[in-house]
């Protein structure tokens, strides 16, 4: 593509898929949902056996809702450590030792990693695109170590010249700062960069606002935002190469 000097990617649900069906099923209020809470509870109840699973699970889901609400205020990242502090707060546990919190965070991270999958085709595409352009990665993720482990595990890390994870910079897409960090590391101007991601608000709104060319990977899970038009919309990541 004329004028493009660097290509930047979102990570989750763009390059790496998230397989929810690898999590345990939790039945609650007549509904079945997939959650990492059963595995977390096994660890948790060793120290707090008096708290029933249902109470734990509701607090676990509630802590996620707390974090989402906090993020919505100004797109500041709320890390996994803080999320689990909210969990303890909801359970009325004021004196949770740091090691208990760390144990839950690490166990949760392992659960998430088990669910991640990088299709071979995505890695191959990155290698081909990477042979033509310097690549950047800008990810909204609340636990940096997990994102780095996923990048190592799927052998994606060497593909990128710049990797920026929200948990490390403190703000999330669509905030300008997180894109700017990657552009600085790639030494390109926004107008010379193309960004591809699946989340309309984070990826398309963020990239457009910064003046990058925005490619929306529309996987049917994210709603467009009024007044914002992506430069290109694709249904499969493989369609990206035809645009470049």
Interacting residues toward Mg ion by CB under 5 A = 10, 12-13, 198-199
Q: What is the smallest separation between the CB atom of 4 and Mg ion, expressed in angstroms?
A: 21
Partnered with residue 8 across adjacent β-strands are 136, 195
Return d(Cα 146, Cα 143) in angstroms, integer.
6
SS3 content of the chain, % helix, strand, coil (to 5): 50, 20, 30
Return d(Cα 243, Cα 240) in angstroms, integer.
5
Q: What is the smallest separation between the CB atom of 106 and Mg ion, expressed in angstroms?
A: 23
The pair of structure tokens assigned to 54 is 């249902």
Instruction: Specify the residue, 36 or 166, whose C-beta has the smaller distance to Mg ion.
Output: 166
Instruction: Specify the residue, 86 or 143, whose C-beta has the smaller distance to Mg ion.
Output: 143
Q: What is the smallest separation between the CB atom of 116 and Mg ion, expressed in angstroms?
A: 12
Q: Are residues 204 and 194 in contact, defined by beta-carbon separation less than 8 angstroms? A: no
Using DSSP's 3-state secondary structure scheme, residue 87 falls into: helix
Instruction: Specify the residue, 56 or 160, whose C-beta has the smaller distance to Mg ion.
Output: 160
Burial of 41 (0-12, 13-18, 19+ CB in 10 A): buried
Residue nearest to Mg ion (CB): 13
Q: What is the smallest separation between the CB atom of 14 and Mg ion, expressed in angstroms?
A: 5
Instruction: Specify the residue, 12 or 154, whose C-beta has the smaller distance to Mg ion.
Output: 12
């Amino acid at each position: 593509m004329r004028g493009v000097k660097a290509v930047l990617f979102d990570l989750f649900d763009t390059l790496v898929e998230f397989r929810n069906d690898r999590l345990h099923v939790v039945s609650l209020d007549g509904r079945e949902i997939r959650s990492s809470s059963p595995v977390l509870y096994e660890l948790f109840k060793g120290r707090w056996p008096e708290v029933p699973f249902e109470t734990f699970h509701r607090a676990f889901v509630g802590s996620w809702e707390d974090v989402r609400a906090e993020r919505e205020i100004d797109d500041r990242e709320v890390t996994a450590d803080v999320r689990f502090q909210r969990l303890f707060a909801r359970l009325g546990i004021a004196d949770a030792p740091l090691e208990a919190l760390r144990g839950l965070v690490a166990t949760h991270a392992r659960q998430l990693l088990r669910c991640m999958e990088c299709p071979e085709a995505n890695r191959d595409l990155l290698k081909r695109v990477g042979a033509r352009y310097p690549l950047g990665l800008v990810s909204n993720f609340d636990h940096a170590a997990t994102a780095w482990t996923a990048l190592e595990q799927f052998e994606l890390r060497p593909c990128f010249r710049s990797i920026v994870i929200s948990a490390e910079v403190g703000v999330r897409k669509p905030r300008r700062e997180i894109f700017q960090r990657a552009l600085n590391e790639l030494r390109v101007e926004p107008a010379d960069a193309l960004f591809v991601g699946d989340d309309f608000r984070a990826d398309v709104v963020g990239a457009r606002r910064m003046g990058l060319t925005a490619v929306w990977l529309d996987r049917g899970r994210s709603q467009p935002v009024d007044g914002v038009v992506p430069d290109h919309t694709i249904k499969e990541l493989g369609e990206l190469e035809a645009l470049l």
